[in-house]
Amino acid sequence: MKTIQIDITKAAQFLTPGAIEALEPQVKAAHASLENGTCPGNDFLGWLHLPSSTTADFLADLKATAATLRENCDTIVVAGIGGSYLGARAIIEALSNSFQWLLGEKKNPVILFAGNNISEDYLSELCDYLRGRNFGVINISKSGTTTETALAFRLLKRQCEQQRGKDMARRVIVAITDARRGAARTTADKEGYKSFVIPDNVGGRFSVLTPVGLLPIACAGFDIDQLIAGAQDMEKACGPDTPLAQNPAALYAACRNALYAAGKKVEILVNYQPKLHYMNEWWKQLYGESEGKDGKGIFPAAVDFTTDLHSMGQWIQEGERTIFETVISVETPEHELHFPDDDENLDGLNFLAGKRIDEVNKMAELGTQLAHVDGGVPNLRISMPRLDAYYLGQLIYFFELGCGISGNILGVNTFNQPGVEAYKRNMFALLDKPGYEAESKAIRARLNQ
Ligand code: PA5
C-alpha cells in the first residue's frame, strides 16, 4: 500500500538552504520525548500507539453496538463538541455521498450532530426534525460536564424516552465518556446504557481513533477496520528511527516550525474536495488548541478550493505575507465524469470537452500553487491516493503525530487547553451558577462600570 506523501519543495525555497535539515536534531528530540514520555503533558500520550494497540475484539464490540443502533434507528444524533465531535464528523462527511441527505436511501441511518452549540433555534429545529422518527443518541463527553453537550443530551434523552419508551431508549442511547467521573458516566450507569470509555491518557482532540470517532463512523456504515489499518501503517511509516526526509509527519512538523520562525504566522489548510471541509475543522482544532498558548503558535486557518478562490483567493494572493499553505491533494476520485461537449459552445469551453473533471480540478490546483508561490506564499503539498477509510486513517495519524512533534519543537504543552476555561468561567458567573457567587458579583460590577 502507498502512504500519504508530503512535498515540501515549494516551501523550502522560501527558507535559507538547509534550514529544514538543520532542524533534524530538534525534530528527533521532540519525537523521542513523545516516545519516552518526557514532554510536557506526558499523561496524554495514549494516542501515540493507539492504532497499533487497537485489537480486533475491541473493534468487534464497537461494530456490534453500531449494528444494534443501525437496526433500531433511522436517525442517530451524535452529541459532543470539540474533540468529542469533529473527528467523527470529518470522517463521516469525507466518506459520505455529497447528497446523502436527499438520497432517502434506507441502508444507512441519517447521522446528525448536536451538543456543539447553544443555539435555541438549532436545538428546536433538531427536536422538530426528530419528532416521529426512530432516533438514537450517542452521548460523547470525556469530562461529562460540558454545558453544550449536556444541554443537548437532556433534550434528546427526554424526547427519545417519550417517543420510543424507556426500554427502547436504553437500547439506543450509548455513552462514550470517562471510566469513572462526570455526569455522563453517572447517567449511563444509572440508566444501564451501553458505554465505552475514553482512555484517561487520550485528550479530546486526539480521540478520533477511540470510540469517540469509531462508533459514530461505524454507525454511518463506514469501515473502521480500514480506518485503523491506515492509521497503523502511518504509525509504522513515521517511527522514531525513520530519517527526517522519509518521515512525512516529522517533515511536516519541521517545515511548519521553520516557516513559523521565518515569520509565517498563519497556516492555511486547503482542500480541493468539498467533502474535506470538516477535515479542515478537525485539523484547526487539533493544531489551534494544541499550539496556541504562551503567546505562541501558528494560527490555523482553512479554505475549500476552488470555492474559496472566489472569496479568499485575493487575500491569499496579495494580502499580508505572513501565511503559508498546506494543500491536501486527493490523487484519484471515486467517480468518473467528463467535461461535456456542447454543439453551440457558447461558453467557449469545448477545448475541455472529454477531459476528466478531475483533470480540470488538478490544473486549477497546480495553477493556484504556482500563482500563490509566485505571490510569496510557501506551499506544502500532502498527496493522498484516494479519499477512502484507509487513507483517511493515514491522514489522521499523520496530522496527530505531526502535531505532537510540532508542539514539542515549539516548546508548549501540546496536550492541555487552559485557555478554553476563560469563557466558561464568565458564562457561569453571568448565569449565576452555584459556587460562582464571587465571580458573579465581580462580573456584574465590571459590566455596570
Ligand atoms: O480537545 C479537547 O480536549 C476539547 O476540545 C474537548 O474535546 C471538548 O471541550 C469537549 O470536552 P468533553 O469531551 O469533556 O465534553
205 lines ligand 1 (CB under 6 A): yes
Q: CB atoms < 10 A from the CB of 385, how many?
A: 16
Q: Which residues does residue 176 pair with via DSSP β-bridges, in sequence order? A: 140, 196
- Contacts (Cβ under 8 Å, ≥6 apart) of 129: 112
417 lines ligand 1 (CB under 6 A): yes
289 lines ligand 1 (CB under 6 A): yes
Residue 421 Cα to ligand 1 middle (Å): 11
The number of the ligand 1 atom at minimal distance from the alpha carbon of 143 is 14
Segment 391-446, tens digit of pLDDT: 999 999 999 999 999 999 999 999 999 998 899 999 999 999 999 999 999 999 99
The number of the ligand 1 atom at minimal distance from the alpha carbon of 206 is 1
Residue 398 CA to its chain's centroid (Å): 12
Segment 221-248, tens digit of pLDDT: 999 999 999 999 999 999 999 999 999 9
Segment 54-107, tens digit of pLDDT: 999 999 999 999 999 999 999 999 999 999 999 999 999 999 999 987 887 778
Q: Which amino acids are annotated catalytic?
A: 289, 310, 424
Count Cα atoms within 13 angstroms, Cβ side, for 150. 12
The number of the ligand 1 atom at minimal distance from the alpha carbon of 417 is 3
pLDDT score, position 426: 93
In terms of pLDDT, which residue wins out, 10 or 106? Answer: 10
Q: Give start and end residues of each alpha helix (H) in 73-141.
A: 86-95, 100-103, 120-130
The number of the ligand 1 atom at minimal distance from the alpha carbon of 140 is 13
Task: Tell me: pLDDT of 263 over 80.
Answer: yes
143 lines ligand 1 (CB under 6 A): yes
Residue 372 near residue 363 (C-beta atoms within 8 A) = no
Residue 140 Cα to ligand 1 middle (Å): 9
Residue 282 Cα to ligand 1 middle (Å): 12
The number of the ligand 1 atom at minimal distance from the alpha carbon of 80 is 15
Average pLDDT over residues 195-219: 97
Model confidence at 449, pLDDT cuts 50, 70, 90, reads: confident
Task: Tell me: pLDDT of 183 over 90.
Answer: yes
146 lines ligand 1 (CB under 6 A): yes
Residue 355 Cα to ligand 1 middle (Å): 45
pLDDT score, position 352: 97
Residue 282 near residue 249 (C-beta atoms within 8 A) = no
Distances (CA, A) of 49 to 61, 241, 250, 321, 323: 20, 15, 16, 38, 32
Segment 275-329, tens digit of pLDDT: 999 999 999 999 999 999 999 999 999 999 999 999 999 999 999 999 999 999 9
Look up residue 339 and give its three cell numbers.
Answer: 467535461
Residue 144 Cα to ligand 1 middle (Å): 9
Compute the mean pLDDT over every residue in the chain, rounded to the nearest whole number.
Answer: 96
Segment 343-389, tens digit of pLDDT: 999 999 999 999 999 999 999 999 999 999 999 999 999 999 999 99
Residue found by looking up cell 453571568 in the block: 430
204 lines ligand 1 (CB under 6 A): yes
142 lines ligand 1 (CB under 6 A): yes
Nearest CA, atom 3, ligand 1: 204
pLDDT score, position 121: 98
pLDDT score, position 154: 97
Residue 356 Cα to ligand 1 middle (Å): 42
Q: CB atoms < 10 A from the CB of 419, how many?
A: 10
The number of the ligand 1 atom at minimal distance from the alpha carbon of 83 is 7
177 lines ligand 1 (CB under 6 A): no
CA distance 216 to 150: 18
User: pTM to 2 decimals?
Assistant: 0.97
213 lines ligand 1 (CB under 6 A): no
pLDDT score, position 265: 98
Task: Tell me: pLDDT of 256 over 90.
Answer: yes
Nearest CA, atom 8, ligand 1: 82
83 lines ligand 1 (CB under 6 A): yes
